[in-house]
């Protein structure tokens, strides 16, 4: 039994398909909106059906604010380590410290060789990886004297200048399965990142033992190595096998892996938006509560600061603990950008007052907190839309190839860029409201009839917001076709902002406590 005391965090493992790039990026944005801590993509540079992983990570970094990012895992034979080190450090600086580096020794050697990479044996791949880690760490050590010097069997860097240093201590995670790779993980890496589907019963225990022994021999603590795990499964109403059942079953099984095998990071491999929502909104908080309760009951290892990704951001909300209700709805500041009003806010009904003597578990409060987190993602996207409009007005976006063309082509490209962004955002809002109308609201009505007037009003407002979104879409179409439509587009987005921010605050005010009290998720 191994419990390294790491904070338990959760991420997504998304296919970097290029058939629908907007959807690929949208899944990463959704992962942040629903409260996941980490977004990862596989890295197969020889696969023409995939977007280039590091280009995709950079694009996703610009579309997100909080979530951490990593390749899962980087194909080292096709990524020269010195160049990779500078790219990772650059992205970490640009994101304020949100990057991790997953590394693999290589696989699919025919495809690697076809792309110009060198075919290696298993033993050579491990030795090449260890040399690469040394190159990367020396590049990042910008304060050390002298140039980078690694005169290895596979990687030779003689005198390259150091730097830049990343914004934070970028963790290196290794995708390892065999004893030599596991021992290297214990000696040199910050994390072990296998996939559960490739493991046999007992492999986690055996792998942990090899890593722990190698870490101790290198003068390190086994807790210096975070244990991560790629998982996949099916959400269903009845349990049909491991990770095939309701969210409660998932939570129990993942808590057992955390407490028994030391897994501190669970990364869900799924391209289904509903899977991500359930994983973040139902499974993650339940796992955290189960692990915390068992550690407190058994006086297990003290929780140590995570070696790898921690869900930290200046605007992030603190996780709640058991006791008084602690989820804070976002208030409506009353400011309005449009002269139009789409409803009478004074006519909004209110629900029952909370019982001041009631206490709530962290798990009960997690659903309301999740609702606020999703809403915060929508609020952040609105702010970005306003910023994009101002950039479009100033002619500052799409500064690549379009800048070499005449001004009218530059402005045309800028308008299409804004349009694609707004259309994607409007789809996200519509999806969020559909989920509430078809699943959440009926359950709340049934659980507490006193909430029916509030639910009825929220549903009415959803229909109004749908009409406002249609107005944004019409303004976008007009703006793309005409050079003088920016004022109408601004007004449409201002009206959407007024309506949506008012609605989100009202919904949080009325629902975050009932969600906890009624056990509805």
Q: Which residue intervals of 404-485 are DSSP H helices?
A: 407-435, 441-447, 452-481
Tell me whether residue 95 is exposed, middle or buried, using C-beta atoms within 10 angstroms of its C-beta: 0 to 12, 13 to 18, 19 or more.
buried
Burial class of residue 197 (count of CB atoms within 10 Å of its CB; 0-12, 13-18, 19+): exposed
- Going by their DSSP bridges, the two strands 244-245 and 263-269 should be labelled as unpaired
Query: Are 51 and 101 within 8 A, CB to CB?
Result: no
CATH number of the structural domain 347-518: 1.20.120.520
pLDDT over 90 (residue 18):
yes
Q: Per-residue pLDDT averaged across 100-125, rounded? A: 95
* CATH superfamily, region 9-298: Luciferase-like domain (3.20.20.30)
pLDDT in tens, 274-309: 899 899 988 999 999 999 989 887 654 544 444 334
Q: Which of 53-62, 230-239, 343-352, 510-519 has the lowest mean pLDDT?
A: 510-519
104: left (phi over 0), alpha (psi -120 to 50) or beta: beta
Round the CA-based radius of gyration of the chain to a whole number and report it: 25
Looking at per-residue pLDDT, the higher value among 495 and 407 belongs to: 495
* Confidence band for 323, pLDDT divided at 50, 70 and 90: low
C-alpha span between 230 and 268 (Å, rounded): 6
H helices of 34-80, in order, are 53-63
> Above pLDDT 90, what percent of the chain?
60
283 to 121, 252, 253, 277, 413: CA distances (angstroms) = 40, 9, 10, 9, 42
So where are the chain's domains? 9-298, 347-518
Q: What gap in Å lies between CA 59 and CA 464, rounded to an integer?
A: 33
User: Tokens in use for 62?
Assistant: 């610009």
DSSP string covering 252-301, please? Answer: HHHHHHHHHH-EEEEEEE---HHHHHHIIIIIHHHHHHHHHHHHHHHT-P
pTM of the predicted model, to two decimals?
0.63
By three-state DSSP, how is residue 2 classified?
strand
Secondary element (H or E) of residue 151: strand 148-151
Residue 171 tokens, joined: 């963790």
Tell me which of 360 and 478 has the higher pLDDT: 360
Per-residue pLDDT tens digits for 191-227: 999 999 999 999 999 999 999 999 999 999 999 999 9
Residue 435: predicted pLDDT: 54
């Amino acid at each position: 039994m191994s419990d390294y005391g790491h904070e338990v965090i959760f991420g997504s493992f998304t296919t970097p398909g290029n058939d629908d790039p907007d959807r690929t990026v949208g899944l990463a944005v959704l992962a942040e909106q629903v409260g996941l801590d980490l977004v990862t993509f596989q890295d197969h540079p020889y696969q023409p059906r995939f977007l280039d992983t590091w280009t995709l990570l950079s694009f996703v970094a610009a579309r997100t604010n909080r979530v951490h990012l990593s390749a899962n895992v980087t194909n080292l034979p096709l990524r020269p380590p010195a160049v990779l080190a500078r790219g990772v450090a650059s992205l970490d600086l640009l994101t304020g410290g949100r990057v991790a580096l997953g590394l693999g020794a290589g696989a699919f050697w025919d495809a690697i060789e076809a792309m110009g990479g060198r075919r290696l044996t298993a033993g050579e791949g491990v030795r090449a990886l260890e040399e690469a880690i040394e190159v990367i760490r020396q590049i990042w050590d910008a304060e050390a004297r002298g140039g980078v010097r690694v005169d290895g069997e596979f990687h030779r860097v003689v005198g390259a200048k150091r730097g830049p240093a990343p914004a934070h201590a970028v963790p290196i995670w290794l995708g390892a399965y065999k004893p030599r790779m596991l021992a290297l993980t214990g000696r040199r890496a910050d994390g072990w990142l296998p996939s559960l589907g490739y493991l046999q019963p007992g492999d986690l225990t055996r792998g942990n033992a090899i890593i722990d022994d190698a870490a101790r021999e290198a003068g390190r603590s086994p807790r210096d190595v975070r244990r991560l795990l790629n998982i996949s499964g099916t959400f269903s109403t009845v349990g049909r096998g491991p990770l095939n059942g309701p969210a409660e079953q998932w939570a129990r099984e993942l808590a057992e892996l955390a407490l028994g095998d030391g897994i501190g990071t669970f990364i869900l491999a799924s391209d289904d938006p509903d899977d991500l929502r359930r994983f973040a909104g139902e499974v993650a908080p339940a796992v955290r509560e189960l692990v915390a309760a068992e550690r407190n009951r058994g006086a297990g290892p003290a929780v140590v600061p995570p070696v790898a990704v921690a869900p930290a951001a200046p605007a992030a909300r603190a996780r709640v603990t058991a006791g008084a209700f602690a989820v804070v709805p976002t208030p409506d500041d009353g400011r309005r950008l449009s002269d139009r009003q789409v409803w009478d806010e004074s006519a909004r009904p209110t629900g029952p007052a909370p019982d001041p003597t009631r206490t709530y578990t962290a798990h009960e409060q997690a659903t309301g907190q999740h609702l606020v987190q999703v809403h915060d993602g929508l609020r952040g996207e609105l702010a970005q839309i306003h910023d994009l409009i101002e950039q479009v007005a100033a002619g500052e976006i799409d500064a690549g190839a379009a800048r070499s063309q005449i001004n009218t082509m530059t402005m045309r490209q800028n308008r299409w860029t804004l349009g694609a962004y707004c259309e994607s955002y409007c789809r996200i809002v519509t999806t969020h409201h559909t989920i509430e109308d078809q699943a959440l609201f009926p359950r709340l009505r049934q659980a507490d009839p006193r909430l029916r007037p509030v639910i009825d009003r929220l549903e009415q407002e959803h229909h109004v917001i749908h009409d406002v979104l249609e107005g944004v879409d019409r303004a976008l179409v007009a703006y793309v076709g005409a050079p003088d439509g920016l004022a109408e587009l601004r007004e449409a987005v201002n009206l959407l902002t007024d309506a949506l921010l008012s609605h989100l605050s009202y919904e949080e005010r009325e629902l975050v406590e009932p969600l906890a009290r009624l056990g509805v998720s």
